[in-house]
Chains A and B, each alone.
Chain A
């Protein structure tokens, strides 16, 4: 166990603090301070974008055993502050319970305390649609359109930083994104098709800038053959909330959801891809909302990304 030199505290790095096992039992003082939580076999480092405007916190969790000859599969998780730990646990649980391959999980997060850095992700995850600077129609103070810059950051800096630390299998390089992160996943699949071998896009914001990415898909598919695999997922209630959910959110928001057409867009993209021989039939999670769908989607992405190599484990 390399606990002292290989730790990540949850969204909150504190590499010098040892975890539970090394702490003395608390018994004397009434309420001694605890220690920050850590994920075993994990590490964290910080990076800054080339333009110095976005601060990344990269979280990486490794399998406990030595890597196979070809290296580990790697799963990159966008919005890492929010979803990294869930992905790590899903990968480990499926390896333990159902015999799936162990994998490295890399959370691409921002250097913040909260779960979502709405400003930075708005730039990184949205495709360019005009000459910069570009702003988000729906959030006019936020810079947008940085997806190509972010792809460049991933290719030239982040992925090499991971490869430098751990033996990875370049063929099994996978990307998970939710919402704008899902939009980025689809964009990346179309625009830089070979960067990841598999992309799982959950609840992608395909309505962004008048369906820009859907129109891009038309153009790209007409001109080149795409490789790799794409999994599209969406929650049914993202577009079709039931009466009780409408009562909760209000009719105005329900009408907006109908207009955004999250389910229709995912189905439409899959249909378009199918005409070019790409199977991306979307998985629609019954009764799940834009946010509640994420954990189940993470679990499904694990089985999409990784191979099952052993029979089911112990109960």
Chain B
């Protein structure tokens, strides 16, 4: 981070009280006593106190509700900031030392930012839902939300990207947003048969398995979208306040195909659709036929659509040319023409003037490496006013 902007932030981070630990909670007075607000000491008064007195005062203030605690801390911060910098620094260091020594330094264990739970989805399969809670309180209408498919592989990238973008909102223009991952239990990066079923439209006879097993089933996209709408979203909204007018869907590869299919079949389900390297070649281009009907019927309803694709999903990167198996890879890339076809899909959707479509070819990126760069773009696309989203020209 560039630093000049952090003066205030740093000072407040150094002083702002943190969630109660179990230990300090145990010594907290009764709720009635909690409401008594101690006077804010002046800088010299604070220096004149003993470390134990300062510590006791901080514990009392930490027990106050936010509406009392935050103004109190702002006044203490002003008092400390008015002291010579050596004294102010000594006070910061003392606070850190004592918090650590007394076990009141905030510990992760008591404030899990990311919560996971399992729910049952289509065909009795179990899905793991992850919710990343923002660091800042929800706006009045609830948080915007970004739902991430293939969460086992991609969720943290999107969640941490959204978190960092919201770290300095006056610079980024981006406020706090919830990121929800839709994944599966277990350690595997992808549930390959599961995603070929859930994220696709039907292909007669299924598709052959890369591991040489029986053909994989396809065509579960509509059932999976119903599951998201009817079970995932309500389960999330039970746990955290969501603004239903600011929902985004983020999918990569087959997940990108799914995101575009969701747009076309249920444009009301989300307001922003982010399709990263979408497999638009799926089912002999079935999505093109769907999109053509959608555009012809003028079904766009103000949604935003972002399509990205890596330059090296069609051209060969220097690293790919140098690796073994280059000729097979060349043939596979030639067959699907990913960059060309994603561009064609963007151009097709752009014909519907009621959609806001953006299309990016990411220089130097391949099918997997596109994800972090596209996550950053996608977070900005979902959460920024559209005129601020970089034009990419």
Contact = CB atoms under 8 A, between A and B. Distances in A.
B320 interface: yes
Contacts of A260: 2
B49 interface: no
Interface string A8-42: 01111110000111010111001111111101110
Contact of B115 (A34, A40, A88): A34
A116 B190 contact: no
Interface in B247-265: 253-254
Nearest to B333: A312
B376 A292 contact: yes
Interface in A139-153: 139-143
Contact of B153 (A93, A136, A290): A93
A192 B239 CA distance: 49
Interface in B307-361: 319-320, 322-326, 328-329, 332
B114 A10 contact: yes
A103 B152 CA distance: 18
Interface of A: 1, 3, 9-14, 19-21, 23, 25-27, 30-37, 39-41, 52-53, 55, 57, 64, 82-83, 85-86, 88-90, 92-94, 96-99, 111-119, 122, 135-136, 138-143, 179-180, 205, 237, 242, 244-245, 247-249, 253, 256, 260, 283, 285-296, 298-300, 302-303, 308-312, 314-315
A98 B253 CA distance: 14
Interface in B346-393: 362-373, 375-377, 379-380, 387-388, 390-392
Contacts of B117: 20, 23, 26, 32, 34-35
B189 A96 contact: yes
Given A12-B113, A89-B157, A296-B376, A312 B367 contact: yes
Contacts of A13: 108-109
A292 B3 contact: no
B10 A141 contact: yes
A3 B163 CA distance: 26
A27 B164 CA distance: 34
- Among A83, A85, A299, chain B packs the most CB atoms within 10 A around the CB of A299
A135 to B, nearest CB: 7
B301 interface: no
A180 B160 contact: no
Residue of A115, A141, A142, A303 with highest tally of chain B CB at under 10 A: A141
A299 B391 contact: no
